[in-house]
Structure 1
Amino acid sequence: MKNILKALSIITPMVMLFVLVQCKPMPGSSSGDEKTFIVASQTVDCTGVAPMKCLQVKEKESDSWGNFYSNIEGFTYEPGFEYVLKVKTEKIQNPPMDGSSIKYTLVQQVSKTKK
């Protein structure tokens, strides 16, 4: 048990550093902007601080899907549906070390399509 705890105390800071390096805001995000996000009908396995499920998000139909590590306040995801969302982005002052520097808030659910 002591060996497991010792290993975790070494691995945990490395994972947190990895997450910080990998968690980048969506392109073009800045304080108070409004974006349109297309959210895929399925989540994917990804790794943040720990293994988790990530939404797949893009801003234009022609873009590639990207992992979305944050949540969108006011939005409840339901598998099997593709969404088009209007989302407000706000810079977070002094974000937590393991969190995003951008807060995402649902402005409007434009569409919800069964896939």
Structure 2
Amino acid sequence: MKNSKALLQVFFSAMIIFVLSQCTASANTSNGNEKTFIVGPETADCNGVVPMKCLQVKETPAGNWTNFYSNIEGFTYEPGFEYVLKVKTEKIENPPADGSSIKYTLIKQVSKIKK
């Protein structure tokens, strides 16, 4: 009887650990739609459908600046500042032919530093 009781305790402990690990995994997956962007202090000339000004963005401090052709909903850019932003990305089901297939929404402005 003691062995079966110990076996049940081990089994239930293992099940609890399994269930908790699955909850953590699904919580991390929901963050898969979040990115951190570093936005540069100056815009650059770029060509979309028409010539325009693009934000300069990189995802890591060591990364290269790239033209960002989209808009970040909820973010107001001010030249002369470098920003670190936490951004939510959502796939757009039927994007316009001249638009992005990803919608970017500001979650949090982490920092704004005068440059």
Instruction: Please classify the TM superposition score into its range, dividing by the shorter chain length.
Output: 0.7 to 0.9
- TM-score (normalised: structure 1): 0.72
> C-alpha root-mean-square deviation of aligned residues, in Å?
1.2
The structure having more radius of gyration, on CA atoms, is 2
For residue 66 of structure 2, what is the aligned residue in structure 1? 66
Ranked by relative contact order (alpha carbons within 8 Å, sequence separation 6 or more), the top structure is 1
- TM-score (normalised: structure 2): 0.72
How is 1:1-115 mapped onto 2 (pairs within 5 angstroms)? 33-115=33-115
How many residue pairs were aligned? 85
Q: Which amino acid aligns with 2:108?
A: Q
Cα drift, residue 106 of structure 1: 0.1
Q: Which has the higher helix share?
A: 2
Q: Mark the runs of 5 or more structure 1 residues left unpaired by the alignment.
A: 1-31
Identity %: 79
Cα drift, residue 34 of structure 1: 0.3
Q: Deviations over 1:14-62 (max 9, x none)?
A: xxxxxxxxxxxxxxxxxx6100000000000000000000000000001
Q: Mark the runs of 5 or more structure 2 residues left unpaired by the alignment.
A: 1-31
